[in-house]
């Protein structure tokens, strides 16, 4: 079954070979979807016939968002903590333990239903690819089940046993790193594609982070790192040195950190929802882009420090507060997000790519930043199937 989507006022392809600029913009465009893939892209006047047709009525079509950083296997919420923080208290990594207690107490069915609910919420907002981390179990069994549950919904699963030191190991962090790099890794590796660590004061230092990432890599997991979020530190340099797909947060960077990212294949993934929700200073996307680094945007959706699943919100904040142009922010939320997951089949509207598409109730992708907070989803296709 093929579908011709025609009457596209403005099409973001992310292929400069197809259209104008880095977004590869095509006006008065059409796309043919065949099965779960894109079969044809070009001007509407030249479009081939298909079994069915859909009139976009002059609206903008873009690749579905690629959210390359989330923490969605959890139970409970932290409304009270957020309320307290917004009433004058500060954020530290320790609040994660509140969610750990609630997650351990939840059944598999509860965790699965909660994850499905948030993935559906993201899909309604145009997100068609989601990476999902463990990290609220912190025991061998609880981390393995988090990844098993996540793997039922997405291939982008990340082992984050090294989120914080488990409460049982408060007096023995070295013992916890031994568990994370040993028995817990053995139980989790079969369900994970990536290995991650929260490299930060109050979580794991550079040596501990290196141990976690190299042990994961030895088991075939590819590193990604929570790096330089709350303070300057070794996370970014470690990510680049170990060939991580992504260094995430990148809020406190030295000139050397920026240069290292610019000279590497490691994507700098910025998560403005975290700074928004902790009332902290935003990362400087302009500095990274001007240096030549690849910049992705992601939600960091989690119940503690960034409880948003909205990529559109992240785009709007990145444009208003982080020095990105609307074009750069949309590219970061789609094509560069895909690069942060080392995926070539999502994040573009090109022949052979997955038919993951977002139709906006607007004539241009610029409206994602121009109309902040407004629900602009008109339709969403995932794997060629109309889902919204
Ligand atoms: Zn995170």
Q: Give one DSSP letter per residue of 46-64, joined into a string.
A: GPPP-SEEEE-TT-EEEEP
Ligand 1 centroid vs 299 CA: distance in angstroms? Answer: 9
Structure tokens at 319: 């444009």
Ligand 1 centroid vs 8 CA: distance in angstroms? Answer: 35
What percent of the chain lies above the pLDDT cut of 90?
A: 96
In 3D space, the residue among 243, 303, 334 whose CA is nearest the CA of residue 117 turns out to be 303
What percent of the chain lies above the pLDDT cut of 70?
A: 99
Mean pLDDT of 264-293: 97
Domain 66-340 has CATH 3.20.20.140: yes
pLDDT band, very low/low/confident/very high, at 383 (cuts 50, 70, 90): very high
pLDDT, residue 84, reads: 87
Ligand 1 centroid vs 352 CA: distance in angstroms? Answer: 31
Checking DSSP bridges between strand 267-270 and strand 60-63, what pairing results, if any? unpaired
Q: Is the pLDDT of residue 273 over 90?
A: yes
Contact status, residue 355 vs residue 54, Cβ threshold 8 Å: no
Tens-digit pLDDT profile for residues 4-31: 999 999 999 999 999 999 999 999 999 9
Tens-digit pLDDT profile for residues 213-267: 999 999 999 999 999 999 999 999 999 999 999 999 999 999 999 999 999 999 9
Ligand 1 centroid vs 111 CA: distance in angstroms? Answer: 18
Ligand 1 centroid vs 355 CA: distance in angstroms? Answer: 28
Ligand 1 centroid vs 109 CA: distance in angstroms? Answer: 23
Ligand 1 centroid vs 70 CA: distance in angstroms? Answer: 6
Ligand 1 centroid vs 108 CA: distance in angstroms? Answer: 22
Given the candidates 2.60.40.10, 3.40.50.1980, 3.40.50.620, 2.30.40.10, the CATH classification of the domain at 2-64+347-386 is: 2.30.40.10
Tens-digit pLDDT profile for residues 240-252: 999 999 999 999 9
Ligand 1 centroid vs 280 CA: distance in angstroms? Answer: 15
Tens-digit pLDDT profile for residues 130-180: 999 999 999 999 999 999 999 999 999 999 999 999 999 999 999 999 999
Ligand 1 centroid vs 388 CA: distance in angstroms? Answer: 27
Ligand 1 centroid vs 271 CA: distance in angstroms? Answer: 8
Query: What are the residues facing 270 on neighbouring strands?
Result: 297
Distance from C-alpha of 234 to C-alpha of 242, rounded to nearest angstrom: 12
pLDDT, residue 95, reads: 80
Tens-digit pLDDT profile for residues 50-107: 999 999 999 999 999 999 999 999 999 999 889 988 998 775 555 888 899 999 999 9
Give start-end residues of each CATH 2.30.40.10 domain in the chain: 2-64+347-386
Determine the distance from the C-alpha atom of residue 87 to the mean position of all C-alpha atoms in its chain, rounded to a whole number.
29
Count H helices and E strands in the chain, helices first.
15, 17
In 3D space, the residue among 111, 112, 93, 94 whose CA is nearest the CA of residue 102 turns out to be 111
pLDDT, residue 199, reads: 97
In this structure, the number of other CB atoms found within 10 A of the CB of residue 43 comes to: 14
Give start-end residues of each CATH 3.20.20.140 domain in the chain: 66-340
> Is this model's pTM higher than 0.85 or not?
yes
Query: What are the residues facing 223 on neighbouring strands?
Result: 195
Ligand 1 centroid vs 81 CA: distance in angstroms? Answer: 17
Ligand 1 centroid vs 306 CA: distance in angstroms? Answer: 9
């Amino acid at each position: 079954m093929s579908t011709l989507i025609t009457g596209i006022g403005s099409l973001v392809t992310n292929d400069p070979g197809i259209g104008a600029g880095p977004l590869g913009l095509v006006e008065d465009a059409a796309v043919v979807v065949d099965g779960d893939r894109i079969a044809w892209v070009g001007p509407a006047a030249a479009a081939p016939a298909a079994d069915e047709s859909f009139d976009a009525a002059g609206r903008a079509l873009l690749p579905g968002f690629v959210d390359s950083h989330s923490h969605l296997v959890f139970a409970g919420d932290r409304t009270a903590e957020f309320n307290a923080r917004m009433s004058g208290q500060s954020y530290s990594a320790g609040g994660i333990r509140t969610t750990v207690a609630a997650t351990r107490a939840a059944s598999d069915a509860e965790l699965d239903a909660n994850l499905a609910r948030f993935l559906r919420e993201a899909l309604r907002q145009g997100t068609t690819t989601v990476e999902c981390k463990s990290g609220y179990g912190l025991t061998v069994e609880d981390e393995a089940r988090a990844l098993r549950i996540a793997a039922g919904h997405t291939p982008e699963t990340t082992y984050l046993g090294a989120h914080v030191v488990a409460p049982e190991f408060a007096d023995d962090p070295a013992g916890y790193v031994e568990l994370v790099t040993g028995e817990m890794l053995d139980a989790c590796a079969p369900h994970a594609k990536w290995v991650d660590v929260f490299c930060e004061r109050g979580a794991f230092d550079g040596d501990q982070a290196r141990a976690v990432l190299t042990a994961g890599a030895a088991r075939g997991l590819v590193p990604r790192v929570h790096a330089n979020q709350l303070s300057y530190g070794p996370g970014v340099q470690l990510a680049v040195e170990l060939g991580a797909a992504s260094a995430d947060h990148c809020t406190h960077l030295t000139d050397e950190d920026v240069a290292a990212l610019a000279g590497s294949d490691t994507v700098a993934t910025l998560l403005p929802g975290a700074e928004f929700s902790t009332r902290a200073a935003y990362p400087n996307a302009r500095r990274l882009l001007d240096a030549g680094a690849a910049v992705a945007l992601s939600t960091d959706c989690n119940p503690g420090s960034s409880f948003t699943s909205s990529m559109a919100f992240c785009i709007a904040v990145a444009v208003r507060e982080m020095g990105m142009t609307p074009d750069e922010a949309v590219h970061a939320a789609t094509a560069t997000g895909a690069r942060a997951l080392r995926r070539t089949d999502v994040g573009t509207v090109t022949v052979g790519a997955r038919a993951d598409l977002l139709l906006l109730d607007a004539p241009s992708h610029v409206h994602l930043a121009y109309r902040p907070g407004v629900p602009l989803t008109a339709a969403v296709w995932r794997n060629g199937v109309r889902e919204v």
